[in-house]
Amino acid sequence: MPETVQRTMQRHSQWLLSIVLPVVLIAVILTADVIEGPKTAYVGVLSAIPLLSAVFGTPRSTAFISVVTWISAFTFGHLASDGNVRAQTVRLVIIAIFGVIAIIAAYVRTRRESQLASAMTQAAQAEAMRQQANTDLLTGLLNRRGVIEKLELHNAARSTVAVIDVDRFKAVNDQYGHIVGDEIIRAVGSRISGGVSRDDVVGRWGGDEFVVVLDLGIDQGTSVIERVFNQVSAQPLATSIGDIPVAISVGVSEWVDGEPLDSVLARADAALYSAKDSGRNQFVVATAA
């Protein structure tokens, strides 16, 4: 539902509950008094009407209902007087007191609601800023900072870490230009993230390098990385100037719980460079720590 429509519906419902409903209840109470009597017996019940308005309305609408309630009680008391002037005066004083209490209650409620809404807005803005700070603007994946922050909560007994690098990306940039180079980085990132589950960590480590962390042991993790490797390099990538074939090199390492992230990344990097030195377009699994 669009936000403007939702706000309009909220305003209408607030208007109905804080103004229309209290006015209707005033009419119902006074009509019941006329029908069932004795005269003015129900007038004291009107003191609850401003409190009802305070539950749903603003201080201004509550003040309006409080005045309408008091005037209704005053007018009805004179038109249908039971002859007890003192009782009528007491009723009017009580209604006035409850009206003032209702206005104060509405003010306190709306102020608290405003403070809560402001706090929620600030929290949402802070979370949006945090996500923006942790997101790579080009690919929409986590950036280096986001990956590190995500992995601070890592507690799997064994995981698989892969470092993925686009082969000869500088030559691609030089040949096709940086705009096409950015399209290739986005496409590679999309294929990598599409080959793993949502619970896995995928991020752009920098430049043309990506990091993948799977909550799987090295045997199962290697199978997933192999599938990702094939998804990325099997078919050319679609760009604004046509399809361009791209190859990647991958270094894979197992991450044992309690091992520093730097250590496992160093092993994965070493495996990546081994893949590069062996002719690129392949993945190499590092030996155990």
Which residues are annotated as catalytic? 208
Whole-Å CA distances, 4 to 7, 8, 10, 54, 104? 5, 6, 10, 25, 30
Nearest to 123 by CA among 7, 131, 42, 161: 131
Strand 248-256 relative to strand 283-285, pairing: parallel
Strand 158-166 relative to strand 209-214, pairing: antiparallel
C-beta atoms surrounding 205 within 10 Å: 20
The answer to whether 201 touches 211, Cβ cutoff 8 Å, is: yes
Tokens standing for 30?
């006074």
Structural element, H or E, at residue 284: strand 283-285
Reported in sequence order, the residue ranges of 128-236 that DSSP labels E, i.e. its strands, are: 158-166, 201-206, 209-214
From CA 237, how far away is CA 51, in angstroms rounded? Answer: 66
